[in-house]
Amino acid sequence: KALFLLTALLAVASAKAALRPNIVWIMSDDLGWGEPGLYNSTSPHGRIATPNLDQFGREGTIFTEAYAGYTVCAPSRTTLFTGRHSGQFTKLGLNGQDLTIAENMTTLAMILQDAGYKTGAFGKTAPLESPYEQGFDKFLGQLSQLFCHNMYPSTIDYAPPVDTRNHSSASIYLANNAINKSREMCMANPQQFNYSIDMFQAAALQWLHETATADPDPFFMYVSYTIPHAGGWDVRPKAGEEGQPVPTDFGYTNSSWPEVERDHAAVIHYLDEQVGQIMAALKQLGVDDNTMVVFAADNGAHQEGGHKVAFFNSTGGLKGYKRSLYEGGVRSPTMVRWPGQVPAGRQSDYMWAFWDALPTFAELAGAEVPAVTDGISIVPTLLGQSQDPKEYVFHTWGSGAKSSGYGVRTADWKGVVHKCGPTAQPSKDDVMELYDLRADPFETTDVSADHAGVVEQLRSIILPKNLSCTCYQC
């Protein structure tokens, strides 16, 4: 009997150990739901070539109804790192833009680090104040939300900030970038300048190689690109988001297209190449089979720097775009790949959001999930098993600097409130639009008048939860 019990315990321990994959999260910045090639979209100007993302999707599962954490960047990423959605930020004392050490929040990276994972962050790490003190062993990128869209920066951060108010940190000085630059100059002589994406990528690939070859422990790598977000060619703050900086236009040279649209297509192709390099490296290092890779976007497609979402139908027809509560503002083109575990060639309409990553990754790592989280583990869904639907997804935003609203979805029903009451909390008096996303995925028809009972159902879900509808990064 004792031998049988020991054998059973060893089997359980072995099974638990087998569920400790390496985890890679690849974050794109402002990529539209309709821009990767496998997502359903049409455009009068054709589709942007994303061969590596297409292969990724064919080898994994495409989630058609996965959500980013918010409709703009920093609050969205806050939900990823904390496992809490924006309706909870107020009671937690979070401002949605800076996740400080003093706030003492347990981050996703800290949970994995405590579970024995090696952790590395590369690229845009906002809202983290100090990646090293918030769960990462290695960091190179740009800490500042303000300066990280300068695609040819004069400095790259690699150590915790000295003074976050002045966005200063120990950094690498890039003298070749610290001159007046232009699109023409950077594209004519790309080898003379340091494109930020190339620096993030080089550091990530080097760390991946060192970690995968020298350490038996699993790893978590967070690679957060700053494209296809609009950006500047010159040095901020002098240079604003003036276009879509990219070292080359590849084959997108159609003179009938506006310059910014040629660059937009090229920068998405550039993003696709970076993903391909990471996937190739995982295979070359022999860790591909035990690595789960998630590709996602932090919010909906942008319409900034001169780019128009309609040119390539960047939202795939979804209503709204970045800074909108409609689906085009919050739906993420999320794909997950893990050979032999996550079913290949599958399309899933399971509804989940960024804040579900924390409990999901904790379960995979064999770590303890924080007692309070808004997320659920979607491990069964990832592994192709049945799972009860998520109760609801909730996002906040506002239609103006002083107004706050929210969007809530349960099952196929989506409610949108553009302005909640004076307490900045959802109330029974809120005027709610209602959409049946199964019958009307593009949110063309408000059916609240015909389905008052559904409106009340949505209210009954969120009102008891004491949520805020405060707008962040407005």
Split at pLDDT 50, 70, 90, the class of 400 is: low
Q: At what angle do helices 196-214 and 259-284 cross, to 10 degrees?
A: 10
**Least confidently predicted of 17-31, 63-77, 226-240, 316-330:** 226-240
> DSSP E strands: which ranges in 143-270?
155-163, 168-173, 219-224
Cα separation, 282 vs 218, in Å, equals 13
Cα separation, 469 vs 290, in Å, equals 40
Q: What is the pLDDT of residue 84?
A: 98
pLDDT in tens, 30-70: 999 999 999 999 998 999 999 999 999 999 999 999 999 99
Q: What is the pLDDT of residue 107?
A: 97
Split at pLDDT 50, 70, 90, the class of 403 is: confident
Q: What is the pLDDT of residue 161?
A: 52
**Least confidently predicted of 95-99, 220-224, 377-381, 441-445:** 95-99
Cα separation, 292 vs 138, in Å, equals 20
Split at pLDDT 50, 70, 90, the class of 129 is: very high
Cα 464 to Cα 92, 156, 414, distances in angstroms: 17, 45, 18
**Least confidently predicted of 151-160, 248-257, 268-277, 330-339:** 151-160
Mean predicted lDDT score pLDDT of the chain = 91
Cα separation, 315 vs 419, in Å, equals 24
Q: What is the pLDDT of residue 6?
A: 40
Q: What is the pLDDT of residue 12?
A: 36
Residue type, 414: K
Q: What is the pLDDT of residue 371?
A: 86
Cα 325 to Cα 100, 161, 284, 346, 386, distances in angstroms: 27, 33, 42, 28, 29
pLDDT in tens, 171-186: 888 999 999 899 999 9
Single pTM value for the model: 0.94
The mean per-residue pLDDT over the stretch 197-223 comes to 96
pLDDT in tens, 235-278: 765 556 789 999 999 989 888 999 999 999 999 999 999 999 99
- Percentage of the chain exceeding pLDDT 70: 92
Split at pLDDT 50, 70, 90, the class of 422 is: confident
Q: What is the pLDDT of residue 162?
A: 53
